[in-house]
Amino acid sequence: MSDFDLVIRGAVVTPTRILENGYVATVDGRIALVGEGEPPAARDHHDRRGCWVVPGAVDGQTHTGSANHEWLGQASRAAAAGGVTTLVDMPYDEPEPVWSTARFHEKAAQANRDCHIDIGLYATIRPHDGLDAIAGLIEAGACAFKFSTFEANALRFPRISDEVLYEAMLRIAPSGLACGVHNQDQEMTLSNIARLKAAGDTGWDAFGRAHPPLVENLATARVYELGAATGARAHAVHISLSRGFELCNQYRQAGFKATAETCVQYLMLNQEEHGQRLGAKAKHYPPIRPQAEVEKLWTHIAAGDCDFVSSDHVSWGLDRKGDPDIFKNASGGPGLETLVPALWTGCLERGVSPLMAVRLLCQGPAQFFLLQSKGALEAGKDADITVLEPGAFIYDPSASQAAVNWSSFEGRRFAVRVAATYLRSELAWDGQRIVNQAGKGRLQKPQLRPSPARREVAL
């Protein structure tokens, strides 16, 4: 009899080095052994030599309930096809956000029933009377909390005032959970949009002018200063500018728990080419930036300043992306299937090590959300494994597993494709189709850790 259930051979990317002739051996859905050379015997043996063998990715920012036609089950299929074995979903669902324990448990039950991969859940609060829900949401298993400095929707995506955000951070800080904030200055945004609309300036490029760097950077600084005042883990959820990483580094160096995330579209798309060609398809918040700013972002990626990279996935239909008035179109787009191949491609193109790609896609988000069994090919962790086949692959979204079949990356040449995705040793995606059953995924709860006593600072 064999001591192992499954052995996968290939170029294994561990947290510290690449095992060119490596293997991962699993028992009971967990990694039991990682090594190099001739592998041990196992009940199943999958020879993936010539491919990268990496941890299943953790996509730390998805919005599966915002479009109201996808939801977690179908999104989990797209995740598996994209090499993502854990997605962490935002709370801004239609018609009601996850801002109560009842809503949290309802969504958790849906995840456990419908999903092909594992799920973590963000929670949020009501803007005026939601503070008392925080303790129950922490106990229920929220992976993090999400707030916004901008009101995108009065009910589903409200603005949280600085006063309420300050108190919320004070209450969350002792748990060690992160406070993620949509970093957008409300007054400046609304003033800019009103001025452009009054002038009839509503074409594809008006969105970027309505959201210049100061709109983002002011809000980013506010997020980190509130974190400094409360002792909370303050997190900017989508930094698109070099200045945002500079701000984060300043607060880190001062001893505060500041973290920074960017999304793959800010690293792989630019305003000059993609903004003009794709129009509202490339409308995201923050906006896609000029190529010169994209290159600056990559310097922060190479320097290790970014905690993780996410997709900000949302499956808006093209009916929400076709208005000639850019301000009438929805922000965001599908991304679960392109996150891993796009970032891996960008890293290879710029000489950034696969070790950094794995840190940004796997280890970083797992650590951020306190998911101790995820994110690395190490003994004792869940055997969530993605196999990446190298080559030249033109991305075609027509067969997407998501709720829509368009993508801003359509026609883009990727340097890898997802050849297989395993969840706890079980094959979920075989390179062509989903092969595991709905309900195999599980809600993931964070392993809370003690935090220093909170500090109260007068407003």
**pLDDT tens string 162-194:** 999 999 999 999 999 999 999 999 999 999 999
For the residues 340-361, what does the mean pLDDT come to? 98
For residue 34, tell me if it sits in a domain.
yes
pLDDT at position 69 is 82
Q: Is the pLDDT of residue 196 over 90?
A: yes
> Does the pLDDT at position 458 exceed 50?
no
| 25-34, 148-157, 191-200, 304-313: least confident range | 148-157
Query: Are 114 and 14 in a shared domain?
Result: no
Q: How far is the C-alpha of 367 from the C-alpha of 362, rounded, in Å?
A: 9
Same domain for 214 and 188: yes
Which residue(s) pair with 388 in the sheet?
52, 418
Q: What one-letter code names the amino acid at 360? A: L
Encoded tokens for 194: 């009103």
Is residue 457 one of the residues assigned to a domain?
A: no
| CATH classification of the domain holding 14 | 2.30.40.10
157 and 24 in one domain?
no
Q: How far apart are CA 379 and CA 7, in angstroms?
A: 13
Residue 206 has pLDDT above 90, yes or no: yes
CB 321 within 8 A of CB 280: yes
In the structure encoding, which two tokens stand for residue 110, read together? 């849906």
User: Residues 435-453: pLDDT tens digits?
Assistant: 999 999 999 999 986 544 4
- By the 8 A CB rule, do 8 and 53 touch? yes
Q: How confident is the model at residue 449, as a pLDDT?
A: 63
Give this prediction's pTM.
0.96
The answer on 184 and 170 residing in a single domain is yes
Residues 12 and 142 in one domain: no
Q: Looking at the structure, do residues 18 and 81 belong to the same domain, yes or no?
A: no
Q: What is the mean pLDDT of residues 62-69?
A: 88
Name the residue range of residue 15's domain.
Answer: 6-54+379-402+413-429
Residues 183 and 233 in one domain: yes
pLDDT tens string 393-413: 999 999 999 999 999 999 999
Domain match, 275 and 341 both: yes
Does residue 444 lie in a domain region? no
In this prediction, residue 1 has a pLDDT band, given cuts at 50, 70 and 90, of low
For residues 424-453, one letter each, b for 16 or more C-beta atoms within 10 angstroms of the residue's C-beta and e for the rest, the string is: bbbbbbeeeebebeeebbbbbbbeeeebee
- pLDDT above 90 covers a percentage of the chain that reads 95
Identify the pLDDT of residue 68.
73
For the chain, give the mean pLDDT.
Answer: 96
Domain total in the chain: 2
